[in-house]
Structure 1
């Protein structure tokens, strides 16, 4: 099995040296600097220029269109990865051998769900971001992808979700995922005016795609397994908890660190 796990980064950063890992510079059209020798997301067919709005999805799109002979494709982040064991450091990132074993049983590998406890996925999103794009997303799904609507509504009412746009997928699942995600977001682009959005809020399509992961996964009934994940440098759990409470009482705060 040919497996590639992309490690998305917008700058130079220590990377895993295990086989199968591919550092990829997202938004390379703008972010490239001499000395960054990563795979660029602006080669071949790409949407690299949309990185300010799509985040790490520009790497996903690049892989979809350009890695045609790969059996399984994954995405992690330069600070947030899957690990075989603790301590969480680059020597302990999950090995391709262990990925292959899991993919003999499952179609998709995902991080354990994030639990918002006091908020639903929908309320969490609208307390931190503009509400319109998420509501427009539902309209698009209802009109163009009605088979996904029931799961969309279910996911929005839950308090847990597979977040972070982290995954490893067999090829058929990856093709299905990309077809759905980029079709929905392409339509959403045409319905949302980002002119008055802040730099952070302009990353809207990347944010919304996180909530679409479970919608896609459960509608298509792909089998999956959840793995522990770790963040190099710590998860900032106390700060996140404070921000979660602020959002609950109506103070908009960042959700991504």
Structure 2
């Protein structure tokens, strides 16, 4: 039986996209902006495009969940993709479906912080009050998943990047829960005086929720490494990581 797959690729600007038919370029934060030729828009149909300054690529995830029809749905970024044998080292649709034949969720390989827990890393690099708001949001909206969240906050590794491909019913269950929790957290966070970079905290907080949901569901997953479309300065990333941990310097930009 043929299985259909759509992986939305979030981008706010024209950029190279995998030519594989499984991938769909989607303009992130498209509301009120000129269309990017050849891209779908995240402000069509049921959407939260206007919240992109806080939700980042999650506005594309929401759009894909609410508007695409396929057996498997996923999200990648214009600068980051699942690695595979396709053009520029990107995973092909056939490779994704093969992986998803073994488990209902395909995730990027876990990121390991070694000397930081998931919670302490966020607290050193951003405002730790955001994690407190997220914890309270879970307590209000989904208290049964709070123990899994607390366990994950104490770990030193996690599935990050807001990238995933899942069976459509699994993605639907996850997104229905995720966006309810994030909306509650958003209500409790004071955005007054934040820089645009700081205001993207809702998108960052979501990265701390995926594993808690998977754990509490007992959901099996498979992993792939991630390939970057642009050079990564590991020296710069490492220096910023150490400066945040030992010198209290918060992140001020993406790397």
Residues 254/154 of structure 1: CA separation in 2 closer, same or farther (3 Å cut): farther
Name the counterpart of 1:73: 73
Matches within 5 A, 1:202-221: 202-221=199-218
TM-score scaled by structure 2? Answer: 0.94
Please identify runs of 4+ aligned residues in structure 1 that moved more than 2 A.
30-33, 89-92, 253-257
- Paired residues in the alignment total 252
TM-score scaled by structure 1? Answer: 0.94
Which 5+ residue runs of structure 1 have no aligned equivalent? none
Q: Cα distance, 1:256 vs. partner? A: 3.3
Residues 53 and 205 in structure 1, CA contact (< 8 A), matched pair in contact too:
yes
Residues 73 and 174 in structure 1, CA contact (< 8 A), matched pair in contact too:
yes
Which 5+ residue runs of structure 2 have no aligned equivalent? none
RMSD: 1.4
Q: Distance in 2 between matches of 1:142 and 1:92?
A: 41
Local SS of the residue matching 1:190: helix
1:80-137, Cα deviation, whole Å (9 max, x unpaired): 001214xxx8443211111111111101000111111211111110111112221011
Local SS of the residue matching 1:182: helix
Residues 246 and 253 in structure 1, CA contact (< 8 A), matched pair in contact too:
no
Q: Distance in 1 between matches of 2:252 and 2:118?
A: 15
Q: Cα distance, 1:255 vs. partner? A: 6.8
Name the counterpart of 1:62: 63
**Is 1:40 the equivalent of 2:13?**
no
Name the counterpart of 1:84: 84
Q: Distance in 2 between matches of 1:90 and 1:48?
A: 30
Q: Cα distance, 1:54 vs. partner? A: 0.1
